[in-house]
């Protein structure tokens, strides 16, 4: 299992478009479960509406975990996406 | 072939297929479905159709408004595929024997409530996206999926009447004409049609609405109000020729682009455009507007579950000011109430909303709301030539309170080190008889007047502008209205205040000569009227 933390820099937080792109990215790693945790709530990144429903705002620190056969590559791709977009 | 007649509110001819606007969700009831498997199959087919429609709209939007603005449809496609949302719909069908329509409606309501209850303006606004998807799915499940996809082709929209919030959410790029069974020529649909430069016929009657169905061939003549359902070949050819004539006229008008608005005897006036939001700027520029004479900021507040934030407003104002490249942009502060209602304001019911807590009265009773808007306006002021205008003014003290609020916002911004322009002009709408009568006093404390003839007519003649039965009495050419306009212009000029007209009357070319002689400095009209008005000015004399 790979885990890393990220603090959101984007002023609108995880809004619709990046959430959509992130969900799409996560779906590319079939068989690997990628979750995002904010406070006590965790959701799978592939679930767009739940991901948006998490309400991640600018300045929030979230934890990502990737678990499965592609966990290394998945965690790296998510980290890259976050730093480039959020 | 069958003929109907309504009132044409914008002159042009459209020939096309009908799409009947129905308020989805209102007639869906919780009835048990016979066969859940059958419902799931219908759902899958509807999803495929909805997805194809969205893909097509996305493509179209990309080429029309750019990829940035089209992205919302891509998000809609992804939301449509969302696992939790899909699972919830399927569960409702399987375990509660819901019909596909009811399951989509219920799941959509649950998810949109989740967004609506979040403590974040941006996410709250996503509730509308979820509802949008549910509505699309439901319309794919019901009528329109059988008669082809009227929802994704160019069509003539027929409805009983349309509320402002409904027109905001319409995919306007697909509508070639509006026909409503009810409504008056001052209704929002009529104004929208003028802004969009497409024909509209209103008051076509209930009989018309019950005769048309999705996919019917219809001719709409916005000049005469004639509606021809299922025309024969000869009739269609006649109207196609008329359409061609209109086209030639438009071409000769476009030759006026770049020419000054100057009378034969040398008086030049300004012709500006009325817009409802940033998406009106293109049409304004396309028609060679000298500026924006009326930006109805209330449209930023519609179709949401909460007020737009300072940041969201700032972005919209900045966008308009930037794209107008130094031309004047007059933004009217929130004018809510009367015919435009917003649920989240929680306003109590009024028996007579036109005489109620609306426009500047609302701004003055909710200082926070007002302050947010003024902050956004002043912050945006550095991007162009801004004018701020207050609606529904009736007294000097109201204006003084507005000016004090502006000063306070400027002090705040200075203290925070945020820049704003020193050359913002402040003006008021003259749309109550009270304001016209005391225009000598008001002219001393503002930079400009803009006469709102729709409300001025309504209040002067005591005629509800929403009521079609009163149309015969609500004569905007009434001597009383014209005298108030003349008085306002005279008082304005005595105090170095400029005066414009931004109501529908500004576009009435039978009055252009009269207005020029009164000394009106500016006329602000819907974009398609700019060039016809320029033509009228150029053939008038002012003295």
Indicate if the alpha-carbon torsion angle B224, B225, B231, B237 is positive or negative: positive
- Domains of chain A are 2-85 (3.30.1340.10)
- Which of B175-179, B213-217, B239-243, B449-453 is the most confident on average? B449-453
Residue range(s) of every CATH 3.20.20.60 domain in chain B? 269-538
**What is the pLDDT confidence band of residue B338, given thresholds at 50, 70 and 90?**
low
Q: What is the dihedral of CA B100, B104, B110, B115, to 10 degrees?
A: 170
Per-residue pLDDT, averaged over B471-485, amounts to 93
Sheet holding B175-180, edge to edge: B2-5, B226-229, B217-221, B13-20, B155-159, B175-180, B200-202, B7-10
Instruction: Name the residue facing A15 among B84, B122, B311 (closest C-beta).
Output: B122
Predicted TM-score (pTM) of the model is 0.60
pLDDT above 80 (res B235):
yes
Instruction: Write down the residue that tokens 């820049």 correspond to.
Output: B419
The confidence score (pLDDT) of residue B514 equals 95
Which chain B residues touch A13 with a CB distance below 8 Å? 120, 122
Asked if A32 is an active-site residue, the reply is no
Among residues B76, B85, B155, B188, the one annotated as catalytic is B188
Provide, for chain A, the percentages of residues in helix, strand and coil under a 3-state DSSP scheme, each rounded to the nearest 5.
40, 25, 35
- Scan for tokens 């000029």, then name that residue: B493
Distance from CA of A19 to the nearest CA of B (A): 9
Please tell us whether the domain made up of B269-538 is placed in CATH 3.20.20.60. Answer: yes
Distance CA B505, CA B526 (A): 11
The confidence score (pLDDT) of residue B52 equals 87
Kindly state whether B119 is in contact with chain A, defined as any CB-CB distance less than 8 angstroms: yes
Element (H, E) at B8: strand B7-10
Q: Is A59 on the interface with B (CB under 8 A)?
A: no
pLDDT at A27: 85
- Of the residues A4, A10, A15, A48, only one is catalytic, namely A15
Q: Give the pLDDT score at B23.
A: 61
Over residues B238-262, the pLDDT tens digits come to 999 998 988 888 888 889 999 999 9
Architecture of domain B2-21+162-251: 3-Layer(bba) Sandwich (3.50)
The nearest alpha carbon in chain B to A17 belongs to B75
User: Which residues share a beta bridge with B130?
Assistant: none
Q: pLDDT tens, A48-58?
A: 888 888 888 88
Provide the 8-state DSSP code for B203: -
Residue B397: closest CA among B441, B363, B352:
B441
- Residue A74 in contact with partner chain B when CB distance is under 8 A: no
* CATH architecture assigned to B37-145: Orthogonal Bundle (1.10)
Structural contact between residues B82 and A46, judged by C-beta atoms closer than 8 angstroms:
no
pLDDT of residue B28: 67
The pLDDT tens digits of the residues spanning B384-430 come to 999 999 999 999 999 999 999 999 999 999 999 999 999 999 999 99
Q: Closest chain A residue to B113 measured between Cα atoms?
A: A53
Is residue B24 predicted with pLDDT exceeding 60?
Answer: no
pLDDT in tens, B55-92: 887 887 677 666 766 777 788 888 888 888 888 999 99
| Chain A residues with CB-CB distance to B83 below 8 A | 46-47
Give the residue from B54, B71, B79, B116 with the most A CB atoms within 10 Å of its CB, the best one to mutate: B79
Sequence-separated (6 or more) residues with CB below 8 Å from residue B440 = B491, B494, B495
The residue among A48, A51, A56 with the most chain B CBs within 10 A of its CB, best to mutate, is: A48
Confidence of residue B11 (pLDDT cuts 50, 70, 90): confident
Q: Is the pLDDT of residue B188 over 80?
A: no
Out of B121-125, B243-247, B429-433, give the one with best mean pLDDT.
B429-433
- What's the rounded Cα separation, in Å, for the pair B213 and B152? 16
B502 is catalytic: yes
- Partners of B108 on chain A (C-beta within 8 Å) are none
Nearest C-alpha neighbor of B33 from the set B106, B92, B88: B92
pLDDT of residue B25: 47
Of the candidates B310, B289, B285, B286, the one whose C-alpha atom is nearest the C-alpha of residue B300 is B310
What is the average pLDDT value for chain B, to the nearest integer? Answer: 88
Provide the pairing of β-strand B2-5 with B175-180: unpaired
Note every long-range contact of B182-188, with CB atoms under 8 Å and residues 24 or more positions apart, other chains counting.
B182/B468, B183/B468, B184/B465, B184/B466, B184/B467, B184/B468, B184/B471, B185/B7, B185/B9, B185/B471, B186/B454, B186/B465, B186/B466, B186/B504, B187/B161, B187/B339, B187/B466, B188/B162, B188/B163, B188/B164, B188/B339, B188/B340
Q: Where in chain B is the domain with CATH 1.10.274.10?
A: 37-145
B151: pLDDT strictly greater than 80: no
- Percentage of residues in chain B having pLDDT higher than 70: 91
On whether any CB of chain A is under 8 Å from the CB of B69, the answer is no
Task: Please check whether residue B130 touches A, CB under 8 A.
Answer: yes
Question: Could you give the CA distance from residue B358 to residue B334 in angstroms, rounded to a whole number?
Answer: 9
What's the pLDDT at B31? 73
């Amino acid at each position: 299992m790979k885990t890393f933390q990220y603090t959101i820099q984007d002023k609108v937080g995880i809004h619709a478009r990046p959430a959509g792109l992130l969900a799409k990215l996560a779906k590319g790693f079939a068989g690997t479960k990628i979750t995002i945790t904010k406070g006590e709530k965790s959701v799978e990144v592939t679930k767009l509406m739940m991901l948006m429903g998490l309400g991640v705002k600018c300045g929030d620190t979230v934890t990502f975990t990737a678990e499965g056969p592609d966990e290394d590559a998945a965690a790296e791709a998510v980290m890259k996406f976050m730093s480039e977009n959020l | 072939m069958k003929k109907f007649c309504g009132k044409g509110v914008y002159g042009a001819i459209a020939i096309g297929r009908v799409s009947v606007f129905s308020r989805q969700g209102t007639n869906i009831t919780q009835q048990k479905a016979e066969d859940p498997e059958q419902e799931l199959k219908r759902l899958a087919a509807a999803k495929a159709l909805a997805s194809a429609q969205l893909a097509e709209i996305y493509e179209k939007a990309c080429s029309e408004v750019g990829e940035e603005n089209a992205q919302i449809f891509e998000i809609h496609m992804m939301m449509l595929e969302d696992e939790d949302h899909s699972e919830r719909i399927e569960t409702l069908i399987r375990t509660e024997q819901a019909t596909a329509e009811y399951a989509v409606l219920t799941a959509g309501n649950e998810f949109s409530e989740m967004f609506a209850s979040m403590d974040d303006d941006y996410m709250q606004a996503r509730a509308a996206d979820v509802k949008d998807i549910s509505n699309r799915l439901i319309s794919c499940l019901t009528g329109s999926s059988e008669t082809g996809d009227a929802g994704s082709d160019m069509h003539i929209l027929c409805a009983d009447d349309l509320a402002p919030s409904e027109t905001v959410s319409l995919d306007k790029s697909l509508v070639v004409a509006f026909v409503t069974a009810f409504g008056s020529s001052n209704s929002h649909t009529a104004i929208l049609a003028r802004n969009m430069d497409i024909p509209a016929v209103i008051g076509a009657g209930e009989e018309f609405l019950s005769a048309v169905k999705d996919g019917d061939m219809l001719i709409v003549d916005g000049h005469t109000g004639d509606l021809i359902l299922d025309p024969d070949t000869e009739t269609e050819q006649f109207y196609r020729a008329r359409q061609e004539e209109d086209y030639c006229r438009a071409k000769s008008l476009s030759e006026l682009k770049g020419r000054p608005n100057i009378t034969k005897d040398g008086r030049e006036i300004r012709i500006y455009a009325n817009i409802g939001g940033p998406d009106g700027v293109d049409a304004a520029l396309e028609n060679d507007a000298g500026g924006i004479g009326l930006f109805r900021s209330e449209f930023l507040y519609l179709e949401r579950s909460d007020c737009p934030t300072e940041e969201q407003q700032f972005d919209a104002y900045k966008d308009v000011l930037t794209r107008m490249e130094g031309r004047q942009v007059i933004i009217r502060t929130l004018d809510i109430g009367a015919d435009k209602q917003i649920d989240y304001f929680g306003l109590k019911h009024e028996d007579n909303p036109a005489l109620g807590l609306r426009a500047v009265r609302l701004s003055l009773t909710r200082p926070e709301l007002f302050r947010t808007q003024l902050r956004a306006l002043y912050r945006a002021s550095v991007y162009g030539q801004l004018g701020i205008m207050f609606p529904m003014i009736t007294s000097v003290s109201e204006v003084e309170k507005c000016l004090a609020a502006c000063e306070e916002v400027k002090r705040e911004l200075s203290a925070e080190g945020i820049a704003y322009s020193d050359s913002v002009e402040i003006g008021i709408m003259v749309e109550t008889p009270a304001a016209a009568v005391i225009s000598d006093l008001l002219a001393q404390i503002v930079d400009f007047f803009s006469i709102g003839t729709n409300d001025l007519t309504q209040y002067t003649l005591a005629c509800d502008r929403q009521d079609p039965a009163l149309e015969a009495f609500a004569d905007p050419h009434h001597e009383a209205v014209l005298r108030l306009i003349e008085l306002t212009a005279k008082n304005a000029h005595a105090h170095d205040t400029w005066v414009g007209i931004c109501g529908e009357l500004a576009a009435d070319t039978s009055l252009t000569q009269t207005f020029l002689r009164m000394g009106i400095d500016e006329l602000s009209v819907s974009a398609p009227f700019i060039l016809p008005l320029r033509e009228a000015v150029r053939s008038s004399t002012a003295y």
